[in-house]
Chain A
């Protein structure tokens, strides 16, 4: 799986949009971009994934650049409960193991 680079930490004001960047300049054509988050002392939670088109669900939006070398996860209206570590992972969706390799992630702190 390709390596990703994320800022170590970010702050966001409650109610504002949180934009979390991720660089994946070595991504291959068949690799997807996945986002998970981990709230303190809990297991990771799936957020969203995409290949090349922008994606949106009830939790977040995923914006992938045209060259696919970077992406941004957007939480449109951050709440205090969105404070967590956010992991950006690129992986081949149909690999045999389907295990995830976690990097350092971004520690998002939502402040009142």
Chain B
């Protein structure tokens, strides 16, 4: 199946710093990517929808200035957690749809675990 890769897989940072997480579709072009976050023992919560060449659409309650999303190419979307604080510590997961036509199948990255000290 199609491959979605995230980098880094884990990161530890100091409070107040910014962290960038990359999501790449390795063998297909993704016009749309989705960013989720997941707290321990909880389900995935959609944060935003990332569209190539346009501004991301954020879910209610998600601060767009806090979580900057850039989708500059058909194979790369980035999530930047700005001025990170301990409460931003979470598992961040991206997903992408292969191709323009709906295949009914989304592919997920391996996830990126952020720990803010």
Which residues of A are in contact with B by a Cβ distance under 8 Å? Answer: 32, 34, 38, 41-46, 49, 87, 93-94, 97-105
Q: Which B residues lie at the A interface, using CB under 8 A?
A: 1, 4, 6, 32, 34, 36, 43-46, 49, 91, 93-95, 97, 102, 104-111, 113
Secondary structure type dominating chain A contacts: loop
The answer to whether B111 and A42 touch across the interface, beta carbons within 8 angstroms, is yes
Given A43-B93, A104-B43, A105-B43, A98 contacting B102 (CB threshold 8 A):
yes
* The 8 nearest A-B residue pairs measured at CB: A43-B108, A102-B44, A102-B43, A44-B108, A93-B104, A43-B111, A43-B93, A99-B34
Knowing that A43-B110, A46-B107 are A-B contacts, what are 18 other residue pairs whose CB atoms are under 8 Å apart, sorted by A's residue number?
Answer: A34-B104, A38-B44, A41-B113, A42-B110, A42-B111, A43-B4, A43-B93, A43-B109, A44-B108, A46-B106, A93-B104, A97-B49, A98-B102, A99-B34, A99-B46, A100-B44, A102-B36, A102-B43
A105 to B43, CA, bound (A): 8
**Which residue on B lies nearest to A43, using beta carbons?**
B108
Give, as a whole number of angstroms, the nearest-CB distance from B102 to chain A. 5
Nearest chain B CB to A23 CB, angstrom units: 17
CB distance from A47 to the nearest CB of B (A): 10
Q: Is the CB of A101 within 8 A of B46?
A: yes
Check if A98 sits within 8 Å of B108, measured CB to CB: no
With both chains docked as a complex, state the minimum distance between the C-beta of B110 and any C-beta of chain A, in angstroms: 5
Complex Cα distance A5/B59, Å?
A: 23
Complex CA–CA separation, A45 to B106 (angstroms): 9
The reply to whether B113 and A45 contact each other, CB–CB distance below 8 Å, is no
Contact check, B91 vs A41: say whether CB atoms are below 8 A apart: yes
Contacting residues, chain B, for A103 (C-beta < 8 A) = 43
Q: A49-B105, A94-B102 are in contact. Are A43 and B95 (CB under 8 A)?
A: yes
Complex CA–CA separation, A30 to B93 (angstroms): 28
